[in-house]
Structure 1
Amino acid sequence: MSGSTGTWRSTTSHWGAYRARTTEAGELEIAPHPLDANPSPLLGNVAGSVRHATRVRAPAVRRGWLDHGPGRGEGRGREEFVEVSWDTALDLVAGELDRVRREHGNEAIFGGSYGWGSAGRFHHTQSQLHRLLNLAGGYTASRGTYSHGTSTVLLPHVLGDAATVLYRADTWDTIARHTDLVVAFGGLALKNVSVTPGGTTGHATATALHALAGSGVELAVVTPLGSDVPAAPNARWLPVAPASDVALMLGLAHTLLTENLHDSTFLDSHCTGFDTVAEYLLGSDGTVKGAEWAAERCGLPADEIRTLARRMASGRTLVTVSWSLQRTRHGEQPVWAGVLLAAMLGQIGLPGGGFGHGYGSIGHVGEDGPLLPLPTLPQGHNPVPAFIPVARIADALLHPGRSYDFDGAALTYPDLRLVYWAGGNPFHHHQDLARLRRAFERPDTVVVHETHWTATARHADIVLPATTTLEREDLGSGRRDTHVIAMHRVLEPFADARDDYAILTGVAERLGLGQRFTEGRTPREWLAHLYGEWRDRLADSGHEAPDFDRFWADGEWRLPAEREHPTPFAEFRADPERTPLNTPSGRVELFSPAVAGFGYADCPGHPTWLEPESDEDHPLWLIANQPGTRLHGQGDVGATSQGAKIGGREPITLHPADAAERGVGEGDVVRVFTDRGACLAGARLDDGLRRGVVVLATGAWFAPVEDPRRPGGTLCAHGNPNVLIADVPTSRLAQGCAAQHTRVQVERFDGPLPAVDSLRPPPIATA
């Protein structure tokens, strides 16, 4: 096993750095990094996943595509695959890339490849693929993320940029020293902070949140779910109704305004548009947004809303909004309303005050690691200007040539003939999976690199087996991480798997681009090259890192600590004339003439209450949150994830009273359904959530069968909530993902239980 038997080797992952080794018996052992006081439970999935039966063993081609060539793909996700040689597979991929670009142009190639394939800086699959496609003439790209794609479009209109808010947040240490009150809309779920893109050497958020109590910082946590509230004596749960956060925010803002608790000086000097918002709060549309009005919608008493507003105005307050709230219909509004509250308090730019976004949503927000550049594989330039918002992939495939709005522009979906997906799984991220299956029938060809037989691989034409992180070498480090990690190879590649660099090198050579793609370097030579360039940049800024050989032998290097962690917008606060924001006014735009001018009814020009969906036939609010047992769908076949299943299905949490009304008991298998589809899940009862709310985490591998209660309908036998959720955007402004909420009904399922076929390979033949 690469000479690593019995020797602990360093590596990292999106859920943290760790050590790995193989025993004399060939078993894989995993141990947390010695510096990690709160190692992620997701480490428990690693050993059982890397050699699971669902690993892709060899290049495979869908039978219908192999027999009949490119064309409509009604058989995707249904037909058997035929294993072929690497030469055959690479010839087919290169030939199809060449055919599509010659016959339809490079715009017909979709290389979005959105995903979390690897924590490595070199074997970052998306970067590898984009590098090749750029050399081949370009491709239609995707823009934004499923995680915070709404905010990245909205925040530039309001604060001038999104990166400052998303990536340069005040640290927990700054909050402990300066903050009196944190008001966390959307919760502070500790399960989410296991994960950071690129990994983290030590998970510090859990410790930091508990330490806040000793610093006297209060936490007011606004969420329907008690599980989103840290178990700390300083944390108070405000159990609001789903999709009501904006109503609460506006009720708080109205109290600040009418009780003269707002900072009019800051609003005049650093903001524009407050007069328009104030008129709206006072009822310019015929409705006063007072505490009583808010109470009717969010479920908190009006007196409690007024008391919270007064407490917010009495000291240093951080208003933070989770990413989950902008992953909903009209998801722009809670973010904008959060900025409104922070501006009315006059604390934007103060340490530990103002507006935060993503605390409790992901691990790096609040961490105190340095904000240093990291080694990056150059991707080159994409000469194709066409793109789609990342969450509109099904629309683009189903409706080529259709026009749509995006951030003030009228765009047109390109005619996508070839989908090349590597390192990602849209059947995890996307909504209305029955619709996505229809969309995946439309392209001529779908090519996928995958480690396992995920739903995306099963809906492809050509599947190329990729190595996992433990089967190759790389460099690892994440945002705000404290270390760079040498990711040593621990295992030999599984069966006939190759790393993505080797796969794409083979394609590049067949297109006459081999030398330009590789620049003559092996993977190890690329690691040394990227590390060396990065080391030189650090030296220019006064930091001396060890040479590559020393670093590789040591297994890691601690990054130099920053002398200080500047508070976002501090310079703007100090002098808005000299350091204006990158908005048209140079100020915080509480009313945006630009957004108002777009004329979008679903995203007006200032924070606005827009009624959430109502559905008498589906009375329960489903919250489809991130799982605590895996990263999205990664590791679903591992021990931690499988150990949480109930009856072999993903667990769904119900309030005991809601369960009793439906004759559902602990451990029962239930059918969860909407008009779009249904899924089976295992019931878990918990009174730590609001009545009328159920929780079903994302990421169970999609296992579609015909719904026995609805002939012709799709049922996921495993419990993937995305089969339930409408494929609609947040608004015409951001076209963001709105996957967090939907209305559902739940009933006990007493029929024969269908098998979860996603946990075994599809039918495979040998050529």
Structure 2
Amino acid sequence: MENQMNRRSFLKFGSAATGAALLTTSSQAIPFVGDSLMPHHDQAMSASHFGAFRASVKNSRFEGVIPFEEDAYPTSMLQGLPSRTYAPGRILYPCVREGFLKHGHKSDRSKRGSEKFVRVSWETALNLVASEIQRVYKSYGAESVYGGSYGWFCVGSLNNPQALLGRMLGIAGGYTSRTLTYSTHAIRAITPYVTGGDESSNQQTAYPNVIANSECIVFWSADPINTNQIAWGVPDHQSYAYMMELKAEAKKRGIKFYCIDPVYNNTASYFGATHIKIRPTTDVAMMLGMAHHLYTENLYDKEFVSKYTSGFEEFRAYLLGEGEDKVAKTPEWAEKICGVESSLIKALAKEFVKKRTMLMGGWGFQRAHHGEQPHWMLITLASMIGQIGLPGGGFGCAYHYSDGGVPAPAAATGNPLSDVKSGNGNMGAVASENAPAASPGLTGISVNSKMEGPWRKRKIPVIPVSRIVECLENPGKEILFDGKKITYPDLKLAYWAGGNPFHHHQDRNRMIKAWRKFETFIVNECFWTATARMADIILPATTEQERNDITKSHTNSYIFAMKKAVEPAGEARDDFDIFEDILRRFGADEVLAFTEGKNKEAWIQSFYQQSKEKAAKSGVPMPSFEEFWEKGYVKFETPESAKNFIKYKDFRDNPITHRLGTPSGKIEIFSRKIAGYDYKECKGHPSWMEPMEWLGSSVAKEFPLNLVSPHPKYRLHSQLNNTWLRDLEEVQGREPIWINPKDAQKRGIANGDVVRIFNKRGAILGGAVVTDYVMEGVVRMQEGAWYDPVEPGKAGSLCKHGDVNVLIADIPTSELAQGNQATALVEIEKYKGTLPPITVFDAPQIKM
């Protein structure tokens, strides 16, 4: 009962939610022992981006979710999974756009999104897919095939659609891929230059150490109470127990909490944090004002800066106005930009130096124009405070992510779903007591086959993931990216699996027009998302509960069996089977390269066996596969030493032995490498550069409200928006938009009104929530509402549901990261017309 009350106080849990046989042609190399352990289970162990659970099956239907017994704080989002499985918009059989079926790649592409679909057989669909890939290879070359599919759909180590897609295309003849992510584009690009590692994913100072030692905790553009519900892998929600303990300890020791954000978010509310209202995209200016005060008042840690950083002199000149712009970055200067009073900026700077302070930087402020700057400046500010490597002090940029700060167990490491290697930060080459525990690792299906063949020699060109539209618009254009020059390929075919670009990409109307450049667009999907509706060929895929797989928790504390609970809906097939059968149209050698002589069941066992063998070498016992599959999970214990892990402690103790992975071996406040690139929008040191749209720009005269688009509370991006969970927040069937009472009064908007939100890029409808939790001049609308235009397929059509990315500019962060944005300037008015019905959650018209 106590855990139930704790969960309710944390996440306001909702109440519990109250086919045809799968076609397989996989090679039968090794029999699956799991077949003897019941292929279907009344309470089958499974996992998702929302957590692990047992699927309750009744009358051969997935009808309920029982949260994993060792997850003390399961999220209510789990309860939407049965509803999603049998959603009205489930794709049940292969379909082809009517015009494409008649005319192929010469069809009218402007009819994508509006034209009827025709049901076809799997044989017809697979033949069509293979012939289109072969046609583009022959006519244009492999670089014209885009296989850079991006998204969050599956947590499985085998049925990872994006890895399987790349594997299939790489074997078939090659393709163009992508690098970096929409979530962490700028931070992943910039922090390797600053600390030598990827600060979005490396190990954070462990929560027990923070709880015992921190005196001041700053949530800067971070909302871990909300965002720790989900993970790229499987969240086990251990961080919530630590956050509860942190709150209790705060009452005893008087720990101070600050939330620096335009919105008083869930985390601020839970911890009772002091809210510092800051204008969106101006965080760097505020940090510079603090840094100027620390320097001019002789409050900064000279010894730390001298011993552990490089390039402070160049930064100091800029800070004091001795550089090119001749502007001193005083607190008074910062106030005019960020809206935070200069007296408060000075007070916070003094407090952060005086107290043991942990700066918890989220990912929100790097999804903006010049998004490389905030984390670079946060690390610079932490360096001047001088507590990096000390108990409870310094900075961390991954507490925002699921279970960041949870002590590392002797468990599986490595992320088979990630295309970016994570930096080690301070771990260095020499082991120490401060390092996280060694671990056996759980692998997943690789993009690259181990079988010999021409595919082993193929080079896969890449483009920055968020530059896909610009690439379509400008084939052959040369751009600067991360110190290199790359040339956009002339893309003719795109294959997407496990993602929803017509949710996560920006400037929807520009995107619709650019997408017409593709001669062919193929999609593997479970649901009739906006992306599926824009496809030429749609192949229905299974959900996690309709297939067997294996995965691990994001904290590496568990390996989970993902057991097939029910038969697939309609004619849905596993992604592995789909791609294998496409390669059958290419040849037997290609099929063998894809399967490596193993069927799906053998692959699952091999992943577990590899982990078991590594574990044995590390002295970590693991049960047999049969025992694991029967129980449903393996748990790895966390050693006591890991609970006191301090980020950058080794570096602070010995910066020579544990030098960082930067050219200087130190924290690079000034990067000679970046300075050498001579970029206009990313200098050699952290800088304030005016964003293209912000409340201080000329654009604000016409569009005076600054829209921010944080992660949603009851879904993962667009996932689960097609379930009853949307009823917990929507206003008259529209995505809610928070607006300050003063801004609402000026516009005659009342709580519960449907409003039109617009700028020059487009217009959407939303439901007004009038609240002082959002600062004046700012509106908040969560990303992830499904795109539902009044006129499907037509650029410029009103989105009647509330897809916020209709309004966000598709302009890169800078030449360094070429990343994406998540803010925009808009205007709002009360909607006075007849409300159009929401139709995106029903299947489109299909000719049988």
Under a length normalisation based on structure 1, what TM-score does the superposition of the two structures give?
0.96
Give the CA deviation at 1:229.
Answer: 3.6
Give the CA deviation at 1:46.
Answer: 1.1
2:771 is the counterpart of 1:686: yes
Question: Hey, what does 2:7 align to over in structure 1?
Answer: none
Question: Is contact 2:268–2:275 with CA below 8 Å preserved after alignment?
Answer: no
Separation (CA, whole Å) in 2 of partners of 1:695 and 1:395: 27
Give the CA deviation at 1:128.
Answer: 1.3
**Unmatched 5+ stretches in structure 1:** none
1:26 and 1:382, CA in 2 relative to 1: closer, same or farther beyond 3 A? same
Once the two structures are superposed, the pairs formed by residues 543-562 of structure 1 within 5 Å of their partners are: 543-562=620-639
Q: Which moved more, 1:224-233 or 1:266-275?
A: 224-233
Separation (CA, whole Å) in 2 of partners of 1:298 and 1:382: 51
Separation (CA, whole Å) in 1 of partners of 2:637 and 2:760: 54
1:568-599 residue CA offsets vs partner (Å, 9 max, x unmatched): 33322222223322222222110112212222
Q: Secondary structure at the match of 2:259?
A: strand
Separation (CA, whole Å) in 2 of partners of 1:586 and 1:460: 49
Separation (CA, whole Å) in 2 of partners of 1:419 and 1:58: 20
1:639 and 1:481, CA in 2 relative to 1: closer, same or farther beyond 3 A? farther
Give the CA deviation at 1:706.
Answer: 5.1
Question: Hey, what does 1:222 align to over in structure 2?
Answer: 260
Separation (CA, whole Å) in 2 of partners of 1:514 and 1:4: 26
Separation (CA, whole Å) in 2 of partners of 1:442 and 1:5: 44
Separation (CA, whole Å) in 1 of partners of 2:383 and 2:77: 38
Once the two structures are superposed, the pairs formed by residues 234-273 of structure 1 within 5 Å of their partners are: 235-273=273-311
> Which residue identity lines up with residue 379 of structure 1 in the other structure?
V
Q: Which moved more, 1:238-247 or 1:351-360?
A: 351-360
Alignment partner of 2:244 out of 207, 213, 217: 207
1:15 and 1:26, CA in 2 relative to 1: closer, same or farther beyond 3 A? closer
Alignment partner of 2:683 out of 601, 604, 617: 604
2:735 is the counterpart of 1:650: yes
Separation (CA, whole Å) in 2 of partners of 1:213 and 1:11: 36
Q: Which moved more, 1:634-643 or 1:577-586?
A: 577-586
Alignment partner of 2:805 out of 708, 714, 722: 722
> Which residue identity lines up with residue 510 of structure 1 in the other structure?
R
> Which residue identity lines up with residue 308 of structure 1 in the other structure?
L
Question: Is contact 2:442–2:610 with CA below 8 Å preserved after alignment?
Answer: no
1:141 and 1:424, CA in 2 relative to 1: closer, same or farther beyond 3 A? same
Separation (CA, whole Å) in 1 of partners of 2:745 and 2:598: 64
Alignment partner of 1:754 out of 830, 836, 843: 836
Separation (CA, whole Å) in 2 of partners of 1:489 and 1:668: 44
Identity between Structure 1 and Structure 2 (%): 39
Question: Hey, what does 2:444 align to over in structure 1?
Answer: 376
Q: Secondary structure at the match of 2:96?
A: strand
Give the CA deviation at 1:446.
Answer: 0.9
Once the two structures are superposed, the pairs formed by residues 476-625 of structure 1 within 5 Å of their partners are: 476-512=551-587, 513-565=590-642, 566-612=645-691, 613=693, 614=697, 615=699, 616-625=701-710
Separation (CA, whole Å) in 1 of partners of 2:487 and 2:712: 35
Separation (CA, whole Å) in 2 of partners of 1:290 and 1:459: 51
Q: Secondary structure at the match of 1:704?
A: coil
Give the CA deviation at 1:109.
Answer: 1.3
**Unmatched 5+ stretches in structure 2:** 1-18, 22-37, 414-438, 449-455
Question: Hey, what does 1:363 align to over in structure 2?
Answer: 402
Question: Is contact 1:118–1:469 with CA below 8 Å preserved after alignment?
Answer: yes
2:473 is the counterpart of 1:398: yes
> Which residue identity lines up with residue 634 of structure 2 in the other structure?
W
2:237 is the counterpart of 1:162: no
Q: Secondary structure at the match of 1:705?
A: coil
Question: Hey, what does 1:407 align to over in structure 2?
Answer: 482
Alignment partner of 2:317 out of 263, 276, 279: 279
Question: Is contact 1:543–1:560 with CA below 8 Å preserved after alignment?
Answer: no
1:49-97 residue CA offsets vs partner (Å, 9 max, x unmatched): 1111100010111111111111462221121111110011111111122
Separation (CA, whole Å) in 1 of partners of 2:831 and 2:667: 52
1:208 and 1:519, CA in 2 relative to 1: closer, same or farther beyond 3 A? farther
2:71 is the counterpart of 1:9: no
Q: Secondary structure at the match of 1:42?
A: helix
Give the CA deviation at 1:200.
Answer: 2.0
1:712 and 1:497, CA in 2 relative to 1: closer, same or farther beyond 3 A? closer
Q: Secondary structure at the match of 1:167?
A: coil
Separation (CA, whole Å) in 1 of partners of 2:245 and 2:334: 32
2:484 is the counterpart of 1:427: no
Q: Secondary structure at the match of 1:12?
A: strand
Question: Hey, what does 1:300 align to over in structure 2?
Answer: 340
1:412-442 residue CA offsets vs partner (Å, 9 max, x unmatched): 1011111111001111110000111112111
Q: Which moved more, 1:3-12 or 1:632-641?
A: 3-12
1:490-546 residue CA offsets vs partner (Å, 9 max, x unmatched): 121000000101111111111111122112322222111111112111212221211
Once the two structures are superposed, the pairs formed by residues 73-152 of structure 1 within 5 Å of their partners are: 73-152=109-188
Q: Secondary structure at the match of 2:45?
A: strand
> Which residue identity lines up with residue 108 of structure 1 in the other structure?
S
Question: Hey, what does 2:363 align to over in structure 1?
Answer: 323
1:746 and 1:699, CA in 2 relative to 1: closer, same or farther beyond 3 A? same
> Which residue identity lines up with residue 532 of structure 1 in the other structure?
Q
Q: Secondary structure at the match of 2:265?
A: helix
2:371 is the counterpart of 1:335: no
Separation (CA, whole Å) in 2 of partners of 1:6 and 1:506: 28
Separation (CA, whole Å) in 2 of partners of 1:231 and 1:462: 46
Give the CA deviation at 1:369.
Answer: 4.1
2:331 is the counterpart of 1:291: yes
Separation (CA, whole Å) in 2 of partners of 1:248 and 1:576: 30
1:172-220 residue CA offsets vs partner (Å, 9 max, x unmatched): 1221122222222113341211011111233433435534524633222
Question: Hey, what does 1:697 align to over in structure 2?
Answer: 782
Give the CA deviation at 1:385.
Answer: 3.9
1:280-310 residue CA offsets vs partner (Å, 9 max, x unmatched): 2212232221122222222222222111111
Question: Hey, what does 1:181 align to over in structure 2?
Answer: 216
Alignment partner of 1:444 out of 519, 537, 549: 519
Question: Hey, what does 2:420 align to over in structure 1?
Answer: none
> Which residue identity lines up with residue 470 of structure 1 in the other structure?
Q
Q: Secondary structure at the match of 2:48?
A: coil
Separation (CA, whole Å) in 2 of partners of 1:369 and 1:688: 35
Give the CA deviation at 1:42.
Answer: 1.1
Separation (CA, whole Å) in 2 of partners of 1:6 and 1:757: 35
Q: Which moved more, 1:690-699 or 1:43-52?
A: 43-52
1:4 and 1:95, CA in 2 relative to 1: closer, same or farther beyond 3 A? closer
1:604 and 1:659, CA in 2 relative to 1: closer, same or farther beyond 3 A? same
> Which residue identity lines up with residue 186 of structure 1 in the other structure?
S
Q: Secondary structure at the match of 1:74?
A: helix
Q: Secondary structure at the match of 1:240?
A: coil
> Which residue identity lines up with residue 724 of structure 1 in the other structure?
L
> Which residue identity lines up with residue 133 of structure 2 in the other structure?
L
Question: Is contact 1:186–1:325 with CA below 8 Å preserved after alignment?
Answer: yes
Separation (CA, whole Å) in 2 of partners of 1:734 and 1:272: 22
Q: Which moved more, 1:40-49 or 1:698-707?
A: 698-707
Under a length normalisation based on structure 2, what TM-score does the superposition of the two structures give?
0.87
Give the CA deviation at 1:7.
Answer: 2.6
Give the CA deviation at 1:253.
Answer: 0.7
